[in-house]
Structure 1
Amino acid sequence: MTATTGSAVQIARAYTEAWMKADIDTALGYVAETAVCKAPNGVFEGKEGFQTFIGPFAGSLTGATLIDVLGDDTHAAAVYTLAAPFASDFPGMDYITVENGLITEVRSHFDLSPLIQAGGNPQH
């Protein structure tokens, strides 16, 4: 990534801020119909797949902090920390690809150790 401003950065920031507030409809407004989300618990395709992944996840959060979004016009990395019932400092990062003003791919990466330490199943 060569810059810290650009369309992907702006779209990634708006998308991330929306799902962090559990505003799934707004978040999905940034997602292309054929988008793909690759997450630790599977691959989710299309807006419906994003809703399946993001909806329950965002709804389970007790807090969220967007640390930064870095990128350029086509790619951005949103770095954040989340609070959930099992952990208060749950770090994550989404690598987001934007084409024609919409998100076409999200690769979600999480430190699963807080979930594992809490005795949870990282596949759910």
Structure 2
Amino acid sequence: MTTTGSAVEVAETYVRAWLGGNVDKAMGLIADDIVCQAPSGLVQGADAYRRFLAPFAGMVISGELLGVYGDDNNAAIVYTVDVPFAKDFHGAEYLTVEDGRITRAISVFDRAASMQAGGQA
């Protein structure tokens, strides 16, 4: 199920890009001053966000976007991925979009599988 709105469109394009391994396309939707709250801590700025996103996106064997919900300003995405350390690894993000770019992200996932495998997610 997908609702409509500009944030929904940005969020869907963003997640489909990195699920498909295209980090550059995903980063094209990230604001320079993004602030991300993640299980591993606070991530500030586009360069830091790329260092956060790229290793994980590079591990994705397969992924599925389960849903995008939101409006013109905010969107929530839910996905599942297979990565070397976990099958059906679920995640969700709550994104704030301004002027077509993601300015804030709250990333939610269970770090237990990553930590058990020695990952840094």
Asked whether the two chains share a fold, i.e. TM above 0.5, the reply is yes
Sequence identity percentage: 43
Whether the 8 Å contact between 1:31 and 1:103 is mirrored in structure 2 is: yes
TM-score, normalisation: structure 2: 0.91
CA contact (8 A) 2:81 2:89 kept: yes
Equivalence for 2:107: 108
Instruction: Give the aligned partner of residue 64 of structure 2.
Output: 65
User: 1:120 — aligned with what?
Assistant: 117
> Could you list the per-position Cα deviations for residues 21-42 of structure 1 after superposition, in whole angstroms to 9, with x for gaps in the alignment?
1211100110111011211112
What's the counterpart of residue 97 of structure 1?
Answer: 96
Aligned residue number for residue 85 of structure 2 = 86
Cα deviation, 1:21-77, whole Å, max 9, x if unaligned, reads 121110011011101121111211111011100001100111110001000000000
**3-state DSSP class of the match of 1:32?**
strand
Structure 1 CA distance for aligned equivalents of residues 54 and 78 of structure 2 = 19
Gap regions ≥5 residues in structure 2: none
Give the drift of 1:123: 5.1
Unaligned runs of 5+ in 1: none
CA 1:115 to 1:123, structure 2 compared with 1: closer, same or farther past 3 Å? closer
- Stretches (4+) displaced over 6 A: none
Please give the TM-score of this superposition, normalised by the length of structure 1.
0.89
Which residue of 2 is the match for residue 48 of structure 1?
Answer: 47
